[in-house]
Amino acid sequence: MIESVDEIRNFYQLTSAGESSYPLQQSRIIRPNLTKQMELLILMVIGLFDRDLASCHLFALAKANSAKRGLNDLATRLSSLENEVRSLGRHTTSARNRRPL
C-alpha cells in the first residue's frame, strides 16, 4: 500500500518509465488533451444550465403576467356585476315605493 508522497512519485516514475519501454513507440500515438475537452464540456454544461435557468425565469414571468391579466379581468367582471346588482336594487326599491299597501 502506498503511504507517502515519495512512494506515489516513485510509483508514477516507474509506471511512466515502464510505458515508455514498450517495443511500440508510444510517443507517436496521438492522445487527446483531456483537460481541454473537460473544460469545453464544463463550459457547455454551465451554458446549458444558464439557458435553462433563464428560460425558467421567463416562463415564470409569463405565467405571472397571465395570472395578473386573469385577475384584472375577474375584477372588471365583479365590478360590472356589482353595478348590475345596485341598479337592480334601485329598481326593486323604487317599485316597492310605488305599490300601494
Which residue in the block uniquely carries the three cell numbers 511512466? Answer: 16
Which residue in the block uniquely carries the three cell numbers 299597501? Answer: 101
Q: How far apart are CA 65 and CA 82, in angstroms?
A: 26
Q: What is the residue extent of each domain of the chain?
A: 5-98
Q: pTM value?
A: 0.44
Give me the tens of pLDDT residue by residue for the chain, a chain 101 residues long: 555 656 666 666 655 554 555 555 444 555 567 777 888 899 999 999 999 988 999 999 999 999 999 999 999 999 999 999 988 887 776 666 665 55
Give the DSSP letter of residue 100.
-
pLDDT the model gives residue 38: 85
